[in-house]
Amino acid sequence: MQFVAPQPVRLCINGKNHDLHLEPRVTLLDALREAIGLTGTKKGCDRGQCGACTVLVDGQRINSCLTLAIMHEDQAITTVEGLAEESVLHPVQAAFLEQDAFQCGYCTPGQICSTVALLAELKAGHISAVTPDVRIGLAELSDDELRERMSGNICRCGAYPNIVAAIRMVIAGNT
């Protein structure tokens, strides 16, 4: 393996700029955890299959283990640590606590970030693979629809019913 010199990169994470020197092949996940110290984002499978590393980039959910840090200059990166405002939890974080939507908690940061993106997608009228009639859009939000939209996030403990309940709680405005 050939040595590749670190390159300067500026990442805007949770509203704060971080000037780093990283090898071009460092993933966004590793930059978050190892270079910046934001350990809320978890390394699960390191293959983009579990969703534990989900973060928001310009409001879109991505698997941070599958993308290089240098690809995200000039983009707004939000991790689970950046969702709360000072000591006030984000409504999704509060709903996950209220509904006990976790067991071991390892997947929870990715689940929460994915839920925040899901809510934005719903608001924008995005359809999914299980939307009954794509011509008219989403008429009813079924549990199957929610599970499909969260299918990129695996919970090995099986807290899915409580995760769906937490999402429903936020949608109903009860947080």
CATH number at residue 78: 3.10.20.30
Same domain, residue pair 95 and 50: no
**What are the tokens at 120?**
């934005």
Same domain, residue pair 112 and 152: yes
User: For residue 138, with 0-12 CB atoms within 10 Å meaning exposed, 13-18 middle and 19 or more buried, which class applies?
Assistant: middle
Phi and psi (nearest 5°) for 18?
Answer: -125, 115
Same domain, residue pair 51 and 110: no
Distance CA 83, CA 64 (A): 17
Within a domain: 1: no
Contact of 68 with 28, CB cutoff 8 Å: yes
Q: Around Cβ 35, how many Cβ atoms within 10 Å?
A: 16
pTM: 0.94
Q: Around Cβ 26, how many Cβ atoms within 10 Å?
A: 19
Distance CA 158, CA 101 (A): 10
* Residue where one domain finishes, among candidates 65, 82, 99: 82
**Which residue in 97, 94, 77, 76 sits closest to 85, CA to CA?**
94
Same domain, residue pair 115 and 158: yes
153 is in which domain, residue-wise?
Answer: 91-171
pLDDT for 4 equals: 83
User: Containing H/E element for 12?
Assistant: strand 7-13
pLDDT for 96 equals: 98
Same domain, residue pair 65 and 106: no
Within a domain: 2: no
* Residue where one domain finishes, among candidates 82, 114, 134: 82
Same domain, residue pair 71 and 112: no
Angle between helix 108-123 and 160-171 (nearest 10): 40
DSSP string, 118-132: HHHHHHTT---TT-S
Instruction: Count structural domains, the chain.
Output: 2
Same domain, residue pair 102 and 136: yes
pLDDT for 1 equals: 66
Same domain, residue pair 104 and 68: no
Same domain, residue pair 21 and 75: yes
Within a domain: 127: yes
pLDDT for 89 equals: 97
Q: In this structure, what CATH number is given to the domain that contains residue 145?
A: 1.10.150.120
Same domain, residue pair 98 and 33: no
Same domain, residue pair 96 and 164: yes
- In the chain, which residues have pLDDT < 70? 1
pLDDT for 129 equals: 84
Same domain, residue pair 113 and 150: yes
Distance CA 118, CA 30 (A): 24
pLDDT for 127 equals: 85
